[in-house]
Amino acid sequence: MVATEAPLQISILQHGRQRQVSITMRTPGNDVELALGFLFTEGILSPDLDPETVSARHLDEQMNHLLLELPSSVAIDWQRLSRQTYTSSSCGVCGKTSIEQVFTTIPWGDSLGGFKVARSTVTALPERLRKGQKIFTDTGGVHACGIFDLNGELLEIYEDVGRHNAFDKIAGKLWMSKIIPCFNLIVVLSGRASFELIQKAGMSGFRFIVAVGAPSSLAVELADELGITLCGFVRKQTFNCYSGYHRIS
């Protein structure tokens, strides 16, 4: 058995005009959450926007083209959105500039989240995430993103061939449910922690990130700047903490 991979074209309809904003290779399913999460983490959809004002529908029988109709009140920087989509695999600019760009759109401060998480809870999270990865169990070929409470209970999980897509599906679900900002929740990544994933987590208000794999240097810098606790190489007995270690008891 292998994981399904298919293209998803995301288009926006606004003021009677339709424009394509992204094409991503994804695991079909939860396309609406994926598209909404992508637009939210890119700063297009405000956390205060009423989800009922946004409609979505597929335009083809294969369900590979999704159209989102946005209210006229949503301001879109088309040039920035196109540039971010084009450079999705890499920021395309120097680290300092990348971090500054994040701060121009992130809606939260850098000092919230005064909780503490037990060390034993941190080390238990990857295995708990793994037990919820149904597609991975069958195929071994997808990434996962899971949301946990501070006691380590799994609340939500999404899987996708793309790790960014898995996070966007989570972010879209949270946005639709009006749960953002997620100051008192933990997000767990099945792979490495890249700059883009830290940016998405920061946009969503997360203050605690656990990754099974390694973070990049720029991911660590951004997590530190945003006041986020970032743990990597998390195993049953050990892990590395790269920033925000004051939240670990």
Instruction: Using the structure block, give the residue that is written with the tokens 């990049």.
Output: 216
119-247 belongs to which CATH class?
A: alpha beta
Which segments in the chain show pLDDT lower than 50? Answer: 86-93
The pLDDT assigned to 66 comes to 95
182 has catalytic annotation: no
The pLDDT score that the predictor gives to residue 111 is: 57
pTM: 0.89
Structural fold of domain 6-92: Ubiquitin-like (UB roll) (3.10.20)
Out of 91, 145, 182, 231, the active site residue is 91
pLDDT score for 100: 66
Q: What is the pLDDT of residue 22?
A: 87
Q: Where are the domains of the chain?
A: 6-92, 119-247
